[in-house]
Structure 1
Amino acid sequence: MAPMELALILGWWLAAASGAQKLPPPSLSLHPSQGVSLGDNVTFRCHLPQSAAWVWLYKGGLWTHNMYQDKEQDTAEFSILSTNREHAGSYQCQYRLYWTAETSEKSDPVELVLTDHSFPPPNISLSPGKRVGTGTNVSIQCWNQGYGADFLLHKDGCSAPIQRQELLVEDKATFTILGVTPADSGTYSCSYRPWAQRFLSSPIGNNVTLEVAPTPAPPGDARRSLVVAVVRGCAAALVFALGLYFVLDARSLWVRRGDGPGGEGS
């Protein structure tokens, strides 16, 4: 190892030991960000708020990769070719500036979840039915073949799962959507992650389609609305009539006073 590289590493360890964590943290992104299966290639990109000399990648809090940047760059890339189960996990990155002992805080964690096609896809059902009216409570059940797992509910068009449910022993999850509206219409599906291997996922299973139709007001509600409208109309007419009466009465009184003794007309 070159003396300069050895000095940089030693400086980093001294900075870490002294708690010199003053720099803003980087951000970490995963490419592709989802739908990664065992055997696929993935790339971690550590985005730096300023150019750095050393960049480290951590998995589960433990250092796994490092990169020395000989050019001033604001992104460091770490690629994993042909992923396996050991690569699944939570990752962070960290950097150190050129010619200083300052190291940044670690980035927010990014999860690499790998789809394992050896897991059978889950089943799914929809209740009370495919087509429901606005305001109905809908249940979507997902189950597998005996795996205690975290179940995730997906909706087409949403990049992330919309609901999640952890089951340690049971193998059936029930997701409830209360008081559905037409916005809840769409295609739903499920996946699961075995509780002992939370960064491995089953393939997404079959889907169900929910159609939410606008529900007209019940006849009783329509009659009540009509009665309310009539009452409000009558009240408005009564107020107008009373106002007109008082105006005319006041005018009549003013006329009589004008025609009497001492009035303007005498």
Structure 2
Amino acid sequence: MPSTLPALLCLGLYLSLRVGAQNETLSKPLIWAETSFMVPNGASVFVWCQGSRRAIEYQLHFEGVFVLERLKAPGLMNKVKFSIQPMNSSTAGKYTCFYRTGELWSEPSDPLDLVITGMYDRPTLSVHPGPEVLPGENVTFFCHLETATTTFFLHKEGPASRPWRRVSNSPAAFSMGPVTPAHRGMYRCFGSYNEHMWSFPSEPVTLLVTGDAGVTDLASTGQPSSPDSWEPHWSTTKKGLRKDLIPWDYTAENLFRVGLGLLVLVALMCLLAHTGLLRKKKKRVSSQERRRRFRWQGALDE
């Protein structure tokens, strides 16, 4: 028993410290661009970083290097915005952000790819067999650019849309189908010499999918069947934002810590009580032993 109680006490203290250490890991923030990750040359763009209401500082990094800092009072907001202006070839690339609560820094956000447009000639975009098709048909978009490049992007306008890349000689062909009503929309194409510097956008081509022909729209993305699709991170939009990025259920954490504290307290009280009983027992035994020795000594004297 004497060895068991100290062991329980040490175990409770260890678990409490371990839970506290695990809670010090902060979730990564969200990052997105307002209003699009594609920014015309010379324009400005706002980059938002969403962390925790407990955050007191945010940092924005470009290509892994710290560039901007924002301080705020804890609890007022769980997000801040950074202004990048003007947008040019030296500011296009990958951005990440961090936030700090106390002395702890969060993990980096997913990277945000900011693309600058309007750097080269304007390509031309066409669609075959035509801009108006029936559900179930196949279509092909052709992007042509006189400037010598072999990288092309096709983009459908929309807040959650992503571009698709084709590495090909001009004209680049983007095959799509069988089409559904989800493929309806306005398309533009770009030429590029790297992933973050694109040409002027082409004139838009609107694809119309008429009739239903028994085809059901099952949330199709309208993605061309291109093997070279380029998928920027979903953090380029505000889709899926959370109200607050608190990585731990603090109610459950507090209950767990209270339970551990009670366990430690009970173990300590039991240990003290057990120690007190041992002392009393020793005193009683010692007193009885002295009386026994006294009577024995008296008998010898007689």
Deviation of the 1:141 alpha carbon: 0.8
User: For the residues of structure 1 that align with 2:169 and 2:68, how far apart are their CA atoms?
Assistant: 39
Question: 1:175-254 to 2 correspondence within 5 Å?
Answer: 175-195=174-194, 198-214=195-211
Question: 1:166-177 to 2 correspondence within 5 Å?
Answer: 166-167=166-167, 170-177=169-176
Check the 8 A contact 2:156/2:163 in 1, yes or no.
Answer: no
Check the 8 A contact 1:58/1:64 in 2, yes or no.
Answer: yes
Q: Sort the Cα spacing of 1:92 and 1:162 in 2 relative to 1 into closer, same or farther, 3 A.
A: closer
Tell me the alpha carbon deviations over residues 188-235 of structure 1, each in whole angstroms, 9 at most, x when there is no partner. 32123323xx21222221233434444979xxxxxxxxxxxxxxxxxx
User: For the residues of structure 1 that align with 2:80 and 2:142, how far apart are their CA atoms?
Assistant: 43
Deviation of the 1:35 alpha carbon: 4.6
Verify: 1:36 aligned to 2:39, yes or no.
yes
CA-based RMSD: 2.9
Q: State the AA in 1 paired with 2:189.
A: C
Q: Sort the Cα spacing of 1:172 and 1:161 in 2 relative to 1 into closer, same or farther, 3 A.
A: farther
User: For the residues of structure 2 that align with 1:70 and 1:180, how far apart are their CA atoms?
Assistant: 50
Question: 1:1-266 to 2 correspondence within 5 Å?
Answer: 22-69=25-72, 72-73=75-76, 74-98=78-102, 100=103, 102-116=104-118, 118-156=119-157, 158-161=158-161, 164-167=164-167, 170-195=169-194, 198-214=195-211
User: For the residues of structure 2 that align with 1:145 and 1:43, how far apart are their CA atoms?
Assistant: 33
User: For the residues of structure 2 that align with 1:200 and 1:33, how far apart are their CA atoms?
Assistant: 15
Identity %: 29
Check the 8 A contact 1:42/1:79 in 2, yes or no.
Answer: yes
Check the 8 A contact 2:155/2:164 in 1, yes or no.
Answer: no
Check the 8 A contact 1:153/1:161 in 2, yes or no.
Answer: no
Count of equivalent residues: 191
Q: Sort the Cα spacing of 1:175 and 1:103 in 2 relative to 1 into closer, same or farther, 3 A.
A: same
Per the normalisation by structure 2, the TM-score is 0.55
User: For the residues of structure 2 that align with 1:172 and 1:66, how far apart are their CA atoms?
Assistant: 44
Q: State the AA in 2 paired with 1:208.
A: V
Aligned-partner SS, 1:87: coil
Deviation of the 1:133 alpha carbon: 3.6
Check the 8 A contact 1:21/1:103 in 2, yes or no.
Answer: no
Check the 8 A contact 1:115/1:203 in 2, yes or no.
Answer: yes
Which fold has the larger relative contact order, with Cα–Cα distance below 8 Å and residues 6 or more apart in sequence? 2
User: For the residues of structure 2 that align with 1:123 and 1:113, how far apart are their CA atoms?
Assistant: 20
Check the 8 A contact 2:33/2:48 in 1, yes or no.
Answer: yes
Tell me the alpha carbon deviations over residues 69-102 of structure 1, each in whole angstroms, 9 at most, x when there is no partner. 355542233222322221111111112222x3x2
Check the 8 A contact 2:135/2:213 in 1, yes or no.
Answer: no
Residue ranges of structure 1 left out of the alignment (5+ in a row): 1-19, 218-266
Per the normalisation by structure 1, the TM-score is 0.61
Flag the structure with higher strand content. 1
Q: Sort the Cα spacing of 1:71 and 1:160 in 2 relative to 1 into closer, same or farther, 3 A.
A: closer
Tell me the alpha carbon deviations over residues 127-161 of structure 1, each in whole angstroms, 9 at most, x when there is no partner. 123444443221111121234254222334x2355
Moved more, 128-137 or 118-127: 128-137
Tell me the alpha carbon deviations over residues 86-129 of structure 1, each in whole angstroms, 9 at most, x when there is no partner. 1111111112222x3x221011111221222x411211122123
Deviation of the 1:174 alpha carbon: 0.8
Residue ranges of structure 2 left out of the alignment (5+ in a row): 1-22, 215-302
User: For the residues of structure 2 that align with 1:184 and 1:69, how far apart are their CA atoms?
Assistant: 43
Q: Sort the Cα spacing of 1:152 and 1:68 in 2 relative to 1 into closer, same or farther, 3 A.
A: same
Q: Sort the Cα spacing of 1:97 and 1:91 in 2 relative to 1 into closer, same or farther, 3 A.
A: same
